[in-house]
Chains A and B, each alone.
Chain A
C-alpha cells in the first residue's frame, strides 16, 4: 500500500495584545482560517520585565513576570475558547516573552505562516497610532502577508 506524504497545514499567526481589540483580530483570523483551510497560532508576547530597569513594584521582578505570563496564558486560552471552534478552526496558543515585534516575526518564520493577523492599535490614543507601534515594525520587516485589523 502506497502512502502519499501529507501536506503540512497552512498556518495563520494571530497576534493579540489581550486588549478589547483582540476580539476583532481573533474573529477575522478565524474567518481566514476557514477560508484558507489553515490552522491558527494565537500568540501574545509578554514584555521581559527584567529589561525594564527602574520600574517600581511591590513584587519582585520574577514574581511579576510569572504573574504576567500566567495571566496572559489564561487570557489567551479564554480568547481561543471564545472564537475558535476546535471542530472547524484548529488552533493552539503560544505565549512568548521578549520584544513583541521581534518575537512575532520570529514566530511567523518558525511556523512558516502564510498570514499574520494583528491589530493596528488598541485604542484611539495618539500613542497607540500605527507609526512607531509594534504593527509598524512588523510590517516593515515581515516576509509574510500581514493583515492589519483596526479596532471597531
Chain B
C-alpha cells in the first residue's frame, strides 16, 4: 500500500476499500471501523458479498447411501437475500459516507476467497477489510476459513477486525 500523495487532498484519485461481509452478525464487526478508515482516507467503499455456489460433486450422490437432492440450494434465492442484507449495510454506511462513495456488489462463485481477492485486484483496492469471523467461523477459537483464505491469496494488505466475544 503506497499513498503517493495525501489521500485527503482534493483532486487526488479516490482510493477504494473492499469490505467483505457474508451478512452474518459477526461479519458486520468490520463495518463501523471501515467507515471510519474510509473517512480518514477519503476512500470509496466497495461492499462485497460472495455467495458460494460450489456444486456438490456428482460422485457424492453415487457414494452416499442416500440422496443429496435435499442439499441442493436455491442459490438465486441466496443471492437475493444477500442483496437485501448488503443493501441494509450500505444504507448504514451512507449515514457516515457520501451515498455515491458506497457501492454494493453481490457475486456468486465456487471459491469466495478467490472472488474477493480478484475483485480487490481488479479495482486496485488499498486493502481488503473483513471481520475475523463470518458465518462459518468458529467464534473465539479460530479465524474464519474465508478470512484465512483471503489473507493467503491476497497481494494487497488485509485488515482484520476482531469479533467481540
Contact = CB atoms under 8 A, between A and B. Distances in A.
A35 interface: yes
Contacts of B154: 150
B125 to A, nearest CB: 13
A104 to B, nearest CB: 14
A140 B142 contact: yes
Given A130-B148, A139-B143, A148 B159 contact: yes
A147 B159 contact: yes
A143 interface: yes
Given A36-B40, A130-B151, A28 B162 contact: no
A148 B143 contact: no
Interface in A2-41: 27-28, 31, 35-36
Contact of B148 (A36, A131, A143): A131
B1 A31 contact: yes
B152 A129 contact: yes
B66 interface: no
A27 B40 contact: no
Interface in A27-83: 27-28, 31, 35-36
A139 B132 contact: yes
B155 A136 contact: no
Interface of B: 1-3, 7, 33, 40-41, 127, 132, 141-143, 147-148, 151-152, 154-162
